[in-house]
Amino acid sequence: MTLLVTGGAGFIGSNFVRYLLETSEDRIVNLDLLTYAGNLANLTGCDQDPRYRFVRGDIRDRETLRRAFAEHEIEAVVHFAAESHVDRSVEGPEVFVTTNVLGTEILLEEARAAGVERFLMVSTDEVYGSLGDEGLFTESSPLAPNSPYAASKASADLLCRAFYKTYGFPVLITRCSNNYGAYQFPEKLIPLMIANALEDKPLPVYGDGRNVRDWLYVRDHCSALDAVLRRGRPGEVYNIGGCNEMANLELVRLLVDHLGKSRDLITFVSDRPGHDRRYAIDATKIMSELDWAPSVTFEQGLGATVDWYLQHRSWWEEIRSGEYTAYYEQMYGQGGRHGKDGVNP
């Protein structure tokens, strides 16, 4: 099969490209705009494989998409490309709408026109909003997104549903919980905390640190996507999660201890506006219908992740030396949203 992977130079997309090259015979065309989050260094070695092609392009650009679909005779699409960071969506929602909503709509139209046989939309559990202390998100939980990021993903997710209902276009939708692993951009919780701890910088925990996330190792997300792509039923939604709930503060303490650093680095900072309290996934459907299960425990996955960041210091140091510095200052510096005098609406 020939696949178009969008956003394959980002965190999960690059892990997925590697996963497919290792486990399948598929040909892969990776279409990525290379925004701040896209990094060809995430794909080092893939270009040695004749089954892999990279196209720099924007999912909002019809001409580029038409050319890619025609030239490479694409049979299936796995759609990762997105603006993905909640904090950035709080600062500037517009690009989340143009990329995540409009971009997905244009991609759907062009994929349909090209006769694509399967279209996998990589959505997120954040479309469901926030849970209280009890309960889990199921595929039939109502959509109630709380951040501009989550609202843009929910819109894209619903457009995919509409393309299935209206045109019978064979869309599959996955909603996964928080991922962690190699190549995650160091603005997200786990790599940010590892990098800051290694540099003995403060570890900024939002609010009271008791927000709960349900963590899944990225390779296990990739195997779940692979299962849905090959064996999922068009028009269906599949939740993906690892039954791994943890409060942020507990997770940060675990990382600090693992790295042999002082817990005094942990610093409570102003909360994220609209901060979802708890995510937790019921993944019964994918586990029973598609026979999928995570392959590693949280301890194994986190250990492997910490090792990866220790062994790939130049990868994240390079990122943190560029425009990231301005981002970090804006978010965490004095007077920044999550700085000591940050805005706490």
- The single residue among 2, 24, 35, 138 that binds ligand NAD, judged by CB under 6 A, is 35
Any catalytic annotation for residue 125?
Answer: yes
Any catalytic annotation for residue 61?
Answer: no
**336 counts as binding ligand NAD under rule CB under 6 A:** no
- H-assigned helices in the chain: 11-23, 62-72, 86-91, 94-96, 104-113, 148-167, 189-198, 218-231, 248-258, 284-289, 298-311, 313-321, 324-332
Pairing of the two strands 27-32 and 52-56: parallel
Any catalytic annotation for residue 36?
Answer: no
- Cβ-in-10-Å burial (0-12, 13-18, 19+) of 55 comes to middle
**296 counts as binding ligand NAD under rule CB under 6 A:** no
- Do 319 and 185 meet the contact criterion of CB atoms below 8 Å apart? yes
d(C-alpha 65, C-alpha 61), whole Å? 6
**342 counts as binding ligand NAD under rule CB under 6 A:** no
**9 counts as binding ligand NAD under rule CB under 6 A:** yes
Q: Which two tokens stand for residue 71?
A: 């030239």
Q: Which two tokens stand for residue 266?
A: 């942990």
**152 counts as binding ligand TYD under rule CB under 6 A:** no
**In this complex, which beta carbon is closest to ligand NAD, that of residue 126 or of residue 271?**
126
**154 counts as binding ligand TYD under rule CB under 6 A:** no
- Do 6 and 31 meet the contact criterion of CB atoms below 8 Å apart? yes
Q: Which residues pair with 247 in a beta bridge?
A: 212
Catalytic residue among 83, 125, 220, 271: 125
Contacting ligand TYD within 69-108 (CB under 6 A): 86
Contacting ligand NAD within 239-258 (CB under 6 A): none
- The single residue among 3, 13, 255, 315 that binds ligand NAD, judged by CB under 6 A, is 13
* Interacting span for ligand TYD (CB under 6 A) from 3-11, 38-46, 206-214, 220-228: 206-214
Least Å distance, CB 284 to ligand TYD, is 22
Q: Which does 11 bind (CB under 5 to 8 A by kind): ligand NAD, ligand TYD, none?
A: ligand NAD
- Do 140 and 123 meet the contact criterion of CB atoms below 8 Å apart? no
**In this complex, which beta carbon is closest to ligand NAD, that of residue 6 or of residue 146?**
6
